[in-house]
Amino acid sequence: MNKKRRLLFSLGSITSLTIPLTVISANTKEKNQTHDAPDAPEIPKTPDPDFFTFKELGNKQINESIEKSIEIVTSFLKDELAKVKIDTKSDYKSILSKTIYLNKIIAFFENNKNTIIKNPDSFGLYITFPNAIAREAKLGNGIVEFNGKQYENIVFGLGDDKQSKYDRIIETQKIKKSSENQNLVQKSEFIKTIKKYSEAMMSEIKGIIFDKNDLLLVDKDYSLKYTKIGENNEESGLVITNPKGFKNWDDYFIKKITTRFVEFDLKQNQEFIQNEKKTPKSPETPPQLPPLVPNKPPLPTNPTITETTIEALPILAPLLKSEFVGYSYENLNAAINSGKDVFFFNNPINTRYIYKVQSITNEYAKVSIFERSKPELKRIYNIKFNLQLNKDRFKQKILFEQIKSIEKTVLKFYKAVGLDENLNYNQIRNTALQSMVFGMVDQFIKLISSSDFLISFDKSSEYWTGKMQNIDDFRPISGAKHDIIRIFLNAVASSTYNGEHNFSAIAQIYDSFLENDYSEYFKNNKEIINQNFKLMNLTYKQKTKIKTNYDINVVDEFIDVIAKNVYKVKSLSTPVAFNIEKWYNKFTSNLTTLNTQFEQLSVLSNNKLVDDESYLNYHEAYTNALSYIKIQKSKINEFEKNFGITLTAIGGIILILNIILIATNLKTLRQRKLRTLYIALILVGLIIVVIGASLIFLGMKGI
């Protein structure tokens, strides 16, 4: 470590504290002498005594939210209309179409506002979930399919109130009841749920009502008709016809609104059931992961990251696994129903989501998409499937192995930055790193969908399929896996992130942690870090049973180790084309180590006092730091020893050669210049031998 870094990070120089340690220790103990939290109340066994008030409460809240939603969307549409009026870039027909459409939909809401509030169903606002929990003493629970998606754990009414049932808008056969239960929703939970529903409606109403894809075009979807107007047809003018296929404009708007609103209602319903199911006996808070740089907690996750939805995912065709080639449709469905993994999908990058075939016919495959961590939230779609295109066992085997190889390759990168296959970006403990990794993953997804990559992929799979002799032919399978990894990594290597090579940009972020963030942090937090080391020695040493004192100088040594690894990762961040797979494995391995080291450093340098809850984590981070320091020293010692052996050998060779030269040319010793040269060479050889021997000694002693 250079002198500058040593001065910035040095912690051992602080010898006094402003607060007596005995007081700190006592306060820490007192603070942590808390009783266990009482068990959370169990789920009630009887309906809420105020259940009879739910309907009125719900109606009032929902009516208010509908009224506010209409005001929100009307204001939004008028703003959109104002933008159209100052649009100078779009063509005339486009501007005219937008103007007509926006005026029509604004009039739809302004003319029908009171009627919508009284009878929302008639205008596409099929409010069902709130009515079910507000009006029905007995609730059904089951699966609902709507608009190509599947919603599980949906509650609906079983009584006479039609407003609590989905069959007034969804076909009965697509509503599958799995159980019946008493409505045990308590008043406090009901009020909270209705409020959440109302707030969500007002938040999402713009997207429910208006989608740019809904815009109708003049002369294509409707026309302007020149006709007689007025009471007695005494005047002529242009009339806007109704949209093609619809009785009037209102019917068109209602159809578009209906689909999106029903989806909204089902999602709110599904989320409610999830919350009801989670009833742990005592409240638990997930552990807070410390940021990579203390005192710089991650900012809220990038909205682009959190707003990624199942609906936005691509529709992928299923690929048949080689072991099921030759099966009939009937046998394939039997295998699916028995839980066998019959198909695979070309989805090696976005490992957060799983595609799964639910059933198959001679024309279509029914596929569900869901998050690994939320398998109950599904999107269902149907896609054409041709069994004949999946009949080559060798090809299906090669495709499966190549797609899996890409997945394993990207998982190494995910692991290196602190992620797993769930791709929960909140696990990344720094906002800049989080945004960069999300951007890179998005780039990887686009890359494997690009025409250039797909052409290379097809050529590779065809080539290695032709090499197959039997289904377990190791050489072509291995060759295909390494070939596709090479193709993928070369494509990644030629890509950039914000003008900089992907992996170089990642390395630069870690470098900035050390050079900028930590240097400033240590300047301001030396005292509390020192206090924590004293606390560990005086209060927690006996509990951890460590044999030596906790030494604050370990932090300095650990930073020195991290600095060397940062330099190593930076030097490795440029891909090596000759053997790019080997380079990638080395880079991700070192990046994994570096990320882990920063995680340990963030614990050791935390600006909060160690207490009974955190001392074990502190101890673990300290022992891990010692291990990394020991490994670094052993590498240095090994290098010293090997370099010393090399120098000793070189020095020995010089001495032997000099002795041979002198022995074969004794007469030349009389010449003063040659005699001086021989002596000088002998001295050089001796010096090199001494230096080499010293390095060997230091390396063996670990000095």
In the predicted structure, residue 302 carries a pLDDT above the cut 70? no
Q: What is the pLDDT of residue 300?
A: 47
* Residue 207 near residue 76 (C-beta atoms within 8 A): no
Q: What is the pLDDT of residue 34?
A: 39
The radius of gyration of the chain's CA atoms, rounded to the nearest angstrom, is: 36
For residue 516, give the DSSP letter.
I
Phi and psi torsions of 129, nearest 5°: -55, -50
Q: What is the pLDDT of residue 29?
A: 38
Structure tokens at 108: 């739809």
Point out the least confidently predicted range of 23-32, 200-209, 241-250, 413-422: 23-32
Quick check: helix, strand or coil at residue 400?
helix
pLDDT above 90 covers a percentage of the chain that reads 51
* Residue 336 near residue 342 (C-beta atoms within 8 A): yes
DSSP3 helix / strand / coil % (the chain, rounded to 5)? 60, 10, 30
Q: What is the pLDDT of residue 382?
A: 85
Quick check: helix, strand or coil at residue 366?
strand
* Residue 376 near residue 276 (C-beta atoms within 8 A): no
Q: Which of 289, 315, 49 is nearest to 183 (CA)?
A: 49
Point out the least confidently predicted range of 429-438, 535-544, 683-692: 683-692
Largest CA distance in the chain: 138
* Residue 628 near residue 554 (C-beta atoms within 8 A): no
Quick check: helix, strand or coil at residue 362?
coil
In the predicted structure, residue 209 carries a pLDDT above the cut 60? yes
In the predicted structure, residue 420 carries a pLDDT above the cut 90? yes
How far apart CA 221 and CA 614 sit, in angstroms, is: 66
Per-residue confidence at 88, pLDDT binned at 50, 70, 90? confident
In the predicted structure, residue 241 carries a pLDDT above the cut 80? yes
Quick: pLDDT tens for 140-184.
999 999 988 888 889 999 999 999 999 999 999 999 999 999 999
More confident residue, 408 or 644: 408
Quick: pLDDT tens for 566-576.
999 999 988 87
How far apart CA 425 and CA 431 sit, in angstroms, is: 9
Q: Which of 253, 240, 264 is nearest to 214 (CA)?
A: 253
The amino acid occupying position 624 is N
Structure tokens at 106: 């604004």
How far apart CA 523 and CA 504 sit, in angstroms, is: 28
Q: What is the pLDDT of residue 640?
A: 65
For residue 351, give the DSSP letter.
T
Q: What is the pLDDT of residue 470?
A: 94
Per-residue confidence at 299, pLDDT binned at 50, 70, 90? very low
Quick: pLDDT tens for 47-79.
899 999 999 999 999 999 999 999 999 999 999
Rounded to 5°, angle at Cα 498 from 497 and 503: 35
More confident residue, 306 or 163: 163
- Sign of the C-alpha dihedral computed for residues 664, 670, 672 and 676 taken in this order: positive
Q: Which helix (H) or strand (E) holds 249?
A: helix 249-277
Q: What is the DSSP string of 550-571?
A: --THHHHHHHHHHHHHHHHHHH
How far apart CA 43 and CA 244 sit, in angstroms, is: 53
Q: What is the pLDDT of residue 33?
A: 39
Q: Which helix (H) or strand (E) holds 191?
A: helix 187-209
Quick: pLDDT tens for 647-691.
888 878 877 887 777 777 766 666 666 667 777 877 887 888 788
Q: At how many degrees (to 10) do helices 431-449 and 451-467 cross?
A: 60
In the predicted structure, residue 237 carries a pLDDT above the cut 90? no
Tell me how long the chain is: 703
Quick check: helix, strand or coil at residue 140?
strand
Backbone dihedral region for residue 218 (phi beyond 0: left; psi -120 to 50: alpha; all else: beta): beta
In the predicted structure, residue 285 carries a pLDDT above the cut 80? no
How far apart CA 519 and CA 515 sit, in angstroms, is: 6
Strand bridging mode 319-320 / 343-344:
antiparallel
Rounded to 5°, angle at Cα 262 from 260 and 268: 105
**Alpha carbon separation from 133 to 38, 140, 155, 195, 271 (Å, rounded):** 29, 11, 8, 13, 14
How far apart CA 610 and CA 28 sit, in angstroms, is: 8
Residue ranges per domain, the chain?
A: 3-18+503-613, 51-277, 303-364+387-494, 637-701
**Alpha carbon separation from 249 to 16, 237, 252, 539, 647 (Å, rounded):** 79, 19, 5, 76, 91
How far apart CA 126 and CA 66 sit, in angstroms, is: 12
Mean pLDDT computed over 551-558: 90
Q: What is the pLDDT of residue 380?
A: 83
How many CA atoms within 13 Å lie on the side-chain side of 641?
12
The residue with tokens 């006709």 is 227
Mean pLDDT computed over 196-224: 92
Quick: pLDDT tens for 458-514.
999 999 999 999 999 999 999 999 999 999 999 998 887 777 778 888 888 888 887
* Residue 257 near residue 108 (C-beta atoms within 8 A): no
Cβ contacts of 477 within 8 Å, gap of 6 or more:
397, 398, 401, 464, 468
Cβ contacts of 579 within 8 Å, gap of 6 or more:
none
Cβ contacts of 604 within 8 Å, gap of 6 or more:
529, 554, 555, 558, 618, 621, 622, 625
Quick: pLDDT tens for 577-623.
789 999 999 999 999 999 999 899 888 888 889 899 889 999 999 99
Mean pLDDT computed over 238-266: 94
In the predicted structure, residue 4 carries a pLDDT above the cut 60? no
